[in-house]
Amino acid sequence: DQQVKQNSPSLSVQEGRISILNCDYTNSMFDYFLWYKKYPAEGPTFLISISSIKDKNEDGRFTVFLNKSAKHLSLHIVPSQPGDSAVYFCAVSTDKLIFGTGTRLQVFP
């Protein structure tokens, strides 16, 4: 039973536009969420996180939004750049990280 779901396996966005990646979770007790980015043949790297006491966290072009009532978080990338093309994983933190299945983002010129 998947506790963290990324229902879109892939997303294609034009350079300069907004990319929105979505993630749903099942347990309302989860209180810390992270996004990781993964390039081919590399390990995941931490991108941005958010605590449940906030509903938004911003870092440059990346913003994560948390909707606790819907048990939903999203990652916005504005403006999208070709170098953002990668697989993005959301994860929830308990005593361990529980990862979603990932969304492959392709940013085309």
Partner 1 sequence: NAGVTQTPKFRILKIGQSMTLQCTQDMNHNYMYWYRQDPGMGLKLIYYSVGAGITDKGEVPNGYNVSRSTTEDFPLRLELAAPSQTSVYFCASSYNQGAYEQYFGPGTRLTVT
Question: Which positions lie near partner 1, rule CB under 8 A?
Answer: 4, 9, 32, 34, 41-46, 49, 51, 89, 93-97, 99-102
In DSSP terms, which residues pair with 72 in a beta bridge?
24, 67
Q: Helices marked H in 1-109 — which ranges?
A: none
Distance CA 75, CA 56 (A): 10
User: CB of 103: closest distance to partner 1 in angstroms?
Assistant: 11
In DSSP terms, which residues pair with 46 in a beta bridge?
36
User: CB of 46: closest distance to partner 1 in angstroms?
Assistant: 4
User: CB of 100: closest distance to partner 1 in angstroms?
Assistant: 5
Q: Closer CB to partner 1, residue 43 or residue 109? A: 43
Q: Closer CB to partner 1, residue 15 or residue 22? A: 22
Q: Closer CB to partner 1, residue 42 or residue 109? A: 42
In DSSP terms, which residues pair with 73 in a beta bridge?
23, 66
User: CB of 15: closest distance to partner 1 in angstroms?
Assistant: 26
Q: Closer CB to partner 1, residue 60 or residue 96? A: 96
First to last CA, the chain: 38
Distance CA 38, CA 71 (A): 24
